[in-house]
Amino acid sequence: MVTGMALRAERIVKNYPGVQALKSVDFDLRRGEVHALVGQNGAGKSTLVEIIAGSVSYDSGDIHIGDQKHTYLDPSRSIELGIQTVHQENQLVEEITVAENIFLYDLPRTRYGFVNLRSCIQAADVLLQELGIDVEPGKKISSLSFVDKKLISIAKAFSRKARILILDEPTASLDEQGRNALFSLIRRYTSLGLSTIYISHHLSEIFEIADRVTVLKDGQRVSTKAIGETSLHTIVPEMIGRSSQSLYVRDKKGRQTLEQGSLLQIVDFHREGVVDHVSFSVRAGEVYGIAGLVGAGRTELAQLVFGVDRSDHGSLLLDGKDITAGSPFNAVDEGIGFLTEDRKDSGLVLIQPVYENITLVRFVKEIKKKVKSLLNLAKEQDDARTVVQQLDIRTPTVSQKVINLSGGNQQKVVLGKWLFADSEIIIFDEPTVGIDVGSKSEIYKLIEKLADDGKFIIIISSDNPELVSVCDTVGVMRFGRLVAELRGDQMTEEQIVKHSLGVSVIKEPEL
Ligand SMILES: Nc1ncnc2c1ncn2[C@@H]1O[C@H](COP(=O)(O)OP(=O)(O)OP(=O)(O)O)[C@@H](O)[C@H]1O
Ligand SMILES: [Mg+2]
């Protein structure tokens, strides 16, 4: 057992224009512990760890690392002190090998100063074996799966002799297998004295991996407790200021009327090597979930339906009428909305204010339909304010640039955009990744309301409990194929996992 303090932050204050991100926060980290940091979107979690990592400056307070006090940190200083951060988004260099990425900052050289790729690969091989990561060190990063990239980012942090590892929502896009691999890696290193700060909105994970948990709310510390001395029922109210009983539970009674109503048919979508002849139907008012492991072809299917990628064939029929979209523009025209998984790349205009992002699609549609609407700034902002309130988007004003919002609040802006776009068919790809428990519950209520209004809802999610609680039907994909459709009593987490892993690949009989 390793003892002692790895880090102590005292009275940390950080202000942004219009926002007090941290109001005198205390936080400490013991050697060899996993200390979880939880709180609502915008509570100040990323700000605190970015201050520790030296990438954000702080207004006042002290940070003790080991036995030294620091009133100022910068990224290289923090790295020297053994602090390594694994960011949510991939920061590896795609076009070079795994081995070169791991040793990017001190590549072994030949006598003539060239990179010695052979010894680099050998060293990486030793490290990866030691970490139990089954990835070929000579492969290019671009050829790896998302999960393997994440594991390589962590291996890289370890290779740089991290004493403090910061993981900001590391499992946000991982499925169960990826999460297990990550956890066993953390446990292994913790036992050797590595300390980890772990940020996650999956509160159940905290109980699996953390030794202590600190709750932040509105830039203040609410509590720090040993994991054995707290519970979900204590943490949730501390985070969101109301009890966990108030969280979303869908009442599925009275949803048996789905046999009637308009029918959307996804017919035989296929793209060689990616999506394998997928067909299913959704009734107006139905919430249809798509489960599966990362890489099962779910996002790719959505991209075909939305016209982002060309399909070899496949058509979309609404009550028999062909509405197959040739392009996203076309899709929006046909009343299809697509909330993408990759928000930063395709979902938001980061340097534009919140209100413009929210009202964008709707206005494009109205202009195309030649609806007489002069762009009315006051109305645009008013409409955006309603959405901001509905989704509890934490921003000083609707004129704030999206880039200045916390990760989860950015996510809510994209969601707001599609809710406001008034589409008949909405495809949500991982709608609640990075979103706190309280807001998740509000989002589920909005999705339910959309369904009650007769929209067609398709939700892709790696969060199986989420699918079970929100959907009427769950289709499971594996290797590009739809291998099962689960309804009623069959729709359980266990069944979803079983079919995702291919323990059983028989399509369930239609109910
Ligand atoms: N560069 C910035 N300019 C202005 N405000 C900012 C900036 N960065 C963060 N903030 C604000 O500081 C507050 C704390 O943000 P932070 O990113 O730390 O939240 P978080 O707890 O990590 O939330 P999430 O769970 O959504 O990631 C938020 O209100 C956010 O809008
Ligand atoms: Mg954050």
- The three-state secondary structure class of 161 is coil
Looking at ligand 1, which atom is closest to the CA of residue 394? Answer: 29
**Domains detected in the chain:** 5-244 (3.40.50.300), 262-501 (3.40.50.300)
CB neighbour list of residue 455: distance below 8 Å, 6 or more residues apart: 284, 285, 423, 424, 425, 426
What's the 201 CA to ligand 2 centre distance in angstroms?
Answer: 10
Structural tokens at position 332: 């929006």
Phi-psi region of 282 (alpha: psi -120 to 50; beta: other; left: phi over 0): beta
Q: What is the pLDDT of residue 330?
A: 86
What's the 450 CA to ligand 1 centre distance in angstroms?
Answer: 29
Residue of 483, 428, 426 whose CA lies nearest to 292: 483
Q: What is the pLDDT of residue 342?
A: 65
Question: Which residues have C-beta atoms less than 6 Å from ligand 1?
Answer: 16, 19, 21, 39, 41-47, 394, 404-409
Identity of the residue numbered 481: R
Distance (Å, rounded) from C-alpha 363 to C-alpha 366? 5
Distance (Å, rounded) from C-alpha 350 to C-alpha 400? 10
What's the 48 CA to ligand 2 centre distance in angstroms?
Answer: 9
Residue of 258, 389, 100 whose CA lies nearest to 397: 389
Residues pairing with 425 in the sheet: 336, 456
Looking at ligand 1, which atom is closest to the CA of residue 22? Answer: 14
Q: What is the pLDDT of residue 505?
A: 47
Digit-by-digit pLDDT tens for the chain (511 residues) are 456 899 999 999 999 988 999 999 999 999 999 999 999 999 999 999 999 999 999 999 999 998 889 888 998 899 889 999 887 667 788 899 999 998 887 777 677 777 778 888 998 999 888 877 889 999 999 888 777 888 898 888 878 778 999 999 887 767 777 788 889 888 988 888 899 999 999 898 999 999 999 999 999 999 999 999 999 999 999 998 877 677 777 766 545 556 778 999 999 999 999 999 999 999 999 999 999 988 899 999 999 999 888 878 899 999 999 999 888 888 888 889 888 876 655 567 777 888 888 877 776 666 666 554 556 778 888 888 988 988 889 999 999 998 888 888 888 888 888 888 888 999 999 888 888 988 888 889 889 988 998 999 999 998 898 999 999 999 999 999 999 999 999 999 999 999 998 875 445 554 4
Distance (Å, rounded) from C-alpha 337 to C-alpha 256? 26
CB neighbour list of residue 11: distance below 8 Å, 6 or more residues apart: 24, 25, 26, 60, 61, 62
In this structure, are residues 56 and 29 in contact, taking their beta carbons and an 8 Å threshold? no
What's the 41 CA to ligand 2 centre distance in angstroms?
Answer: 7
Distance (Å, rounded) from C-alpha 488 to C-alpha 472? 8
Q: What is the pLDDT of residue 175?
A: 74
* φ/ψ of residue 141, rounded to 5: -55, -40
